[in-house]
A = this chain, B = another copy of it.
């Protein structure tokens, strides 16, 4: 029997607590990770008004696809999502995983059309920000614009790192980097950096890192043999952060 039964609460649990209450930004526990950061009280109330707090999405359910007319960008409220871009021949690339407080759909602003597909990885919910209303609001709220730019820029800088990963790193380095990235993001959200559940499949991970499923599976096994991690299905526990960091290249 593994110790992993008793792990940090999942984002899903957060959903139960917060989604049911549909908390306003002021009371949302994601406040300091989210868009409202730095807005003054009055501005915050206005922003709060335009946010649609949607029903939840179940595992596999699309948030939007390239076919969906563009109206809104989204912030993950609970759970997690993946985005993909796909070619005519059916090949797909998982371009990102998104956790609570992170923006989805920012690449749609230019061209006013979704350029990727977003799907829930587990039971999840989002805050929907109608883009036209966001722009109207931004016209009289410079701080909001600053925040938005900052968000876009952050994703940009993450994508550059990902390009380095895809272009220059070995399979081993890719997976180690991935694990630490997830770990850090869990930590930022107040969860354990050491023990968590991977909401995405091996296939999604492999695809995202530009690897074959089999390679990911083999590496997980090897990392486990070498005492770096403990992994059972989707439960993962990081045993040796330092060695893992050393593998990141």
Set of chain B residues within 8 Å of A146, measured between Cβ atoms:
135
Stoichiometry, copies per complex = 2
Q: Give the docked Cα–Cα distance between A167 and B93 (Å).
A: 7
Say which one of A26-34, A35-43, A108-116 lies at the interface with B.
Answer: A108-116
A interface, by DSSP: helix, strand, loop or mixed? helix
Set of chain B residues within 8 Å of A150, measured between Cβ atoms:
109-110
Interface centre among A109, A115, A116, A150 (most CB of B within 10 A): A109
Digit string of A166-180 for contact with B (CB within 8 Å is 1, else 0)?
111000000000000
Q: Does A49 contact B (CB under 8 A)?
A: no
A138 nearest in chain B by CB position: B145
Set of chain B residues within 8 Å of A45, measured between Cβ atoms:
none
Say which one of A4-12, A151-159, A182-190, A234-242 lies at the interface with B.
Answer: A151-159
Whether A156 pairs with B152 at a CB distance below 8 angstroms is yes
Whether A160 pairs with B115 at a CB distance below 8 angstroms is yes
Say which one of A57-65, A83-91, A192-200 lies at the interface with B.
Answer: A83-91
Set of chain B residues within 8 Å of A91, measured between Cβ atoms:
164, 168, 249
Interface size for A (C-beta < 8 A) is 46
Whether B161 pairs with A160 at a CB distance below 8 angstroms is no
Set of chain B residues within 8 Å of A135, measured between Cβ atoms:
142, 146
A95 nearest in chain B by CB position: B160
Whether A109 pairs with B160 at a CB distance below 8 angstroms is no
| Interface residue from B85, B149, B160, B168 paired with A87 (Cβ < 8 Å) | B168
